[in-house]
Amino acid sequence: MRKLIFSAVAGGAIIFLSIFLAQMIAGSKKTRRPPSQKVVKTVFVDTVKNMTVPIVVPANGNLRAKKRVELFSEVQGVFRTGSKLFRTGQEYSTGQTLIRIDANEYYATVQSAKSNLYNLLTSIMPDLRLDYPEIYSKWQSYLNGFDLEKTTPKLPEMTTEKEKFFISGRGVLSSYYNVKNLEQRLSKYTISAPFTGILTDALVTEGTLIRSGQKLGEFINTGVYELEVSVSKTYGDYLTVGKQVELSNLEKTQSFQGKVIRVNGRVDQNSQTITVYIEVSDESLKEGQYLEAHLEAKEETNAIEVDRSLLLENNQIFVVRDTVLDVIDVNPVYFTDKTVVLKNVPDDEVIVSKAISGAYTGMEVKVFNQEQTKRAKS
């Protein structure tokens, strides 16, 4: 019994001592919170000077050759080999043969009709000599210059009613126009280049049987191109024919000078845009190339252009007044992907030129002084 009491007393003493020591250790710790330091952010500012800001409307599109011809066949026959192979990328000069279709059979028909006309003229010459000696000489000259291997010459001019009745009554006119019709169709067996250019599409090859109405290829002039772009109808009145336009490629590594040559008079009902056509000429340009246009639509007076990130909600911007941020109301008149044109900003107002994270009205700031920084570095 004595041992049990002693154990209980000893255990209680140990517990009491543990609690006492824990309280002493806990009480010895003092929480020391460092004093808060006031952080003043440095801001970049600009002094407002209102001026005339040009409104440049961006647009884009693909180049298309101004002179282009889609080649179709109006006759049927076998495609014969020419001086150059009919292949994509092949260059041709003005008047050079693009396609030559075998016309031997049709050529014989034309020669037969020309021979009939020649025989008919020969048969009426004795009657002309007896009945109309005053016009005999000009028809004899025409007959002497008639060559079956060349294009049929134009008939002599008929000055009197008697001459017209006589020539028409003998069937000369109908025979002549029949020959001219056949010669016109014969010329369609050969397709020549209407201008100097390049073949961008070739759908047939030598030896192919070509049918009437079949598309053969596409031929373009590589000197002058058109860029078709769509702009908002808001600026349609400012885009006039002859206006110069700055163009650039997608990588911004090349720039070109273009000119507005046409403006569509109709507004697209779905997009409410107007189509503008810009002419540009450069040897480095290619058909189908993507270009960006910068159309100077109009000029906004008494305005400034700033970064879009500076415009706050409710059309306000930050200004600095006595090292304290404040806001003023502005009127945004035009937005681009990076900037905004503002009006109603007073001259000599000090505005924030770079966005500040966590900024608020009444915030104390420090204006960045570029001159002091330069002197400190030097």
- What residues have CB less than 8 Å from 346, skipping those under 6 apart? 48, 328
Instruction: Report pLDDT for 237.
Output: 73
Rounded to an integer, the average pLDDT of 32-58 is: 78
Could you give the strand order of the β-sheet that contains 91-92, starting from the edge strand earlier in sequence?
A: 68-72, 215-220, 197-202, 91-92
Percent of all residues in the chain with a pLDDT value above 90, rounded to a whole number: 37
Q: Which domain holds residue 309?
A: 45-53+301-377
Lowest-confidence segment of 191-200, 307-316, 360-369 by average pLDDT: 360-369
Lowest-confidence segment of 93-97, 177-181, 270-274 by average pLDDT: 270-274
Does residue 201 lie within any of the structural domains?
A: yes
CATH code: domain of residue 332:
2.40.420
Q: Is the pLDDT assigned to residue 374 strictly greater than 60?
A: no
Examine the domain organization and report whether 98 and 111 are in the same domain. Answer: no
Largest CA distance in the chain: 178
Q: Give the C-alpha separation, 113 to 107, whole Å.
A: 10
Lowest-confidence segment of 9-18, 24-33, 347-356 by average pLDDT: 24-33
Are 96 and 248 in contact by the 8 Å Cβ rule? The answer is no
Instruction: Report pLDDT for 240.
Output: 82
Examine the domain organization and report whether 344 and 317 are in the same domain. Answer: yes
Examine the domain organization and report whether 157 and 178 are in the same domain. Answer: yes
Examine the domain organization and report whether 173 and 310 are in the same domain. Answer: no
Task: Single out the residue in 176, 203, 220 at which a domain terminates.
Answer: 220
- Burial code (b: 16+ CB inside 10 Å, e: under 16) for 258-290 equals bebeebeeeeeeeeebbbbbbebeeeebebeee
Does residue 209 lie within any of the structural domains?
A: yes
Examine the domain organization and report whether 109 and 175 are in the same domain. Answer: yes
Examine the domain organization and report whether 158 and 128 are in the same domain. Answer: yes
Model confidence band, residue 113 (pLDDT cutoffs 50, 70, 90)? very high
Long-range contacts of range 240-244, CB-CB < 8 Å, 24 or more positions apart?
Answer: 243/295, 243/296
Model confidence band, residue 325 (pLDDT cutoffs 50, 70, 90)? confident
When the pLDDT of each residue in the chain is averaged and rounded to a whole number, the result is: 85
Does residue 1 lie within any of the structural domains?
A: no
Examine the domain organization and report whether 198 and 96 are in the same domain. Answer: yes
pTM assigned to the model: 0.65
Q: Is the pLDDT assigned to residue 66 strictly greater than 70?
A: yes
- What residues have CB less than 8 Å from 254, skipping those under 6 apart? 248, 284
- Per-residue pLDDT reduced to its tens digit, 256-267: 999 999 998 888
Task: Single out the residue in 199, 220, 241 at which a domain terminates.
Answer: 220
- Residue 179: burial class (beta carbons within 10 Å; 0-12, 13-18, 19+): buried
Does residue 246 lie within any of the structural domains?
A: no
Between residues 335 and 3, which one has the greater pLDDT? 335
Q: How many CB atoms lie within 10 A of CB 12?
A: 10
- Per-residue pLDDT reduced to its tens digit, 138-182: 999 999 999 988 899 999 988 888 888 988 888 999 999 999 999
Does residue 295 lie within any of the structural domains?
A: no
Instruction: Report pLDDT for 27.
Output: 58
The DSSP output letter for 344 is S
CATH code: domain of residue 97:
2.40.50.100
Model confidence band, residue 24 (pLDDT cutoffs 50, 70, 90)? low
Does residue 60 lie within any of the structural domains?
A: no
Examine the domain organization and report whether 125 and 194 are in the same domain. Answer: no
Rounded to an integer, the average pLDDT of 97-126 is: 93
Helix 104-131 and helix 133-144: axis angle, to 10°? 160
Instruction: Report pLDDT for 365.
Output: 84
Instruction: Report pLDDT for 376.
Output: 43
Q: Is the pLDDT assigned to residue 370 strictly greater than 60?
A: no
Does residue 121 lie within any of the structural domains?
A: yes
Model confidence band, residue 55 (pLDDT cutoffs 50, 70, 90)? confident
Between residues 214 and 364, which one has the greater pLDDT? 214
Does residue 336 lie within any of the structural domains?
A: yes
Helix 104-131 and helix 172-187: axis angle, to 10°? 160
Examine the domain organization and report whether 89 and 111 are in the same domain. Answer: no
Q: Is the pLDDT assigned to residue 2 strictly greater than 80?
A: no
Model confidence band, residue 373 (pLDDT cutoffs 50, 70, 90)? very low
Are 309 and 268 in contact by the 8 Å Cβ rule? The answer is no
Model confidence band, residue 300 (pLDDT cutoffs 50, 70, 90)? confident
Instruction: Report pLDDT for 377.
Output: 46
Q: Is the pLDDT assigned to residue 298 strictly greater than 50?
A: yes
Name the domain count of the chain. 3
Examine the domain organization and report whether 183 and 193 are in the same domain. Answer: no
Instruction: Report pLDDT for 271.
Output: 82
Percent of all residues in the chain with a pLDDT value above 70, rounded to a whole number: 88
Examine the domain organization and report whether 215 and 321 are in the same domain. Answer: no
- What residues have CB less than 8 Å from 32, skipping those under 6 apart? none
Examine the domain organization and report whether 157 and 129 are in the same domain. Answer: yes
